[in-house]
Amino acid sequence: MLRIAFATATLCFAGAAAAQIAWPSNTIECAQFHKAGDAWAGTATFDIGPVKHVAIDANIAPHDYVLAGYDLYEVIENKCGKK
């Protein structure tokens, strides 16, 4: 019984660790974006990882823009969506 509990705890911990994402450094200012339905909307210039001076004026839906290998929607959601 102890062996099963240990294996279950180990699998749960490994799953939680795998779910964490190392987000890129960025200069996104949350005040420049607002939630628009299932997208983020805004006008901004920012850096994300090695990509510098990104200028955008758009609705940003999931998977619309990939910068430095990251989904821009997910980066904004991670940084600005948590209140």
- Number of domains the chain contains: 1
- Position 19 scores a pLDDT of 60
25 is written with which tokens?
């450094």
Residue 55 covered by a domain: yes
- Position 82 scores a pLDDT of 77
- Domain of 43? 23-80
Burial of 4 (0-12, 13-18, 19+ CB in 10 A): exposed
Residue 72 covered by a domain: yes
Residue 64 covered by a domain: yes
Residue 75 covered by a domain: yes
Mean pLDDT split into 10-residue runs, the chain, 83 residues: 44 50 94 96 97 97 96 96 76
pTM for the model stands at 0.74
Look up residue 24 and give its amino acid: P
Residue 58 covered by a domain: yes
Would the CA dihedral through 54, 58, 61, 64 be positive or negative?
A: negative
